[in-house]
């Protein structure tokens, strides 16, 4: 596992070209990180617990609307996010 320190507004880039994902630290405080994730539309981005549910074939808990290409995800401690 690669562990990086980032300050608010700084980015981490994953991949290259059309598969490039940019993760930006939007805010952090009291063991809470708020991340902005910019990923191509063909790459699914989920919290770990949601991805695990999808992979296990468990049905969705509630309907979801199609989200825009750029979205923000808030990760709480213990959710196993990125």
Q: How many domains does the chain have?
A: 1
Question: Which residues form the domain of 30?
Answer: 11-59+67-75
Map tokens 């509630």 to a residue: 62
| pTM to 2 decimal places | 0.66
Residue 78 has pLDDT above 60, yes or no: no
Predicted pLDDT at 74 = 55
Q: CA separation (Å) from 72 to 28, 50, 56, 62?
A: 13, 15, 25, 19
Residue 35 falls inside a structural domain = yes
Q: Which tens digit of pLDDT belongs to each residue from 17-73? A: 999 999 999 999 988 999 999 999 999 999 999 999 999 998 777 666 655 555 555
Measuring CA to CA, which residue among 32, 30, 36, 33 is closest to residue 12?
36
Residue 41 falls inside a structural domain = yes
């Amino acid at each position: 596992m690669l562990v990086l320190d980032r300050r608010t507004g700084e980015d981490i880039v994953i991949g290259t070209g059309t598969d490039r994902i940019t993760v930006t630290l939007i805010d952090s405080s009291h063991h809470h990180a708020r991340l902005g994730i910019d990923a191509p539309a063909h790459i699914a981005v989920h919290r770990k617990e949601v991805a695990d549910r999808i992979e296990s074939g468990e049905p969705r808990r509630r309907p979801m609307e199609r989200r825009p290409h750029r979205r923000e995800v808030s990760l709480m401690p213990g959710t196993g996010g990125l």
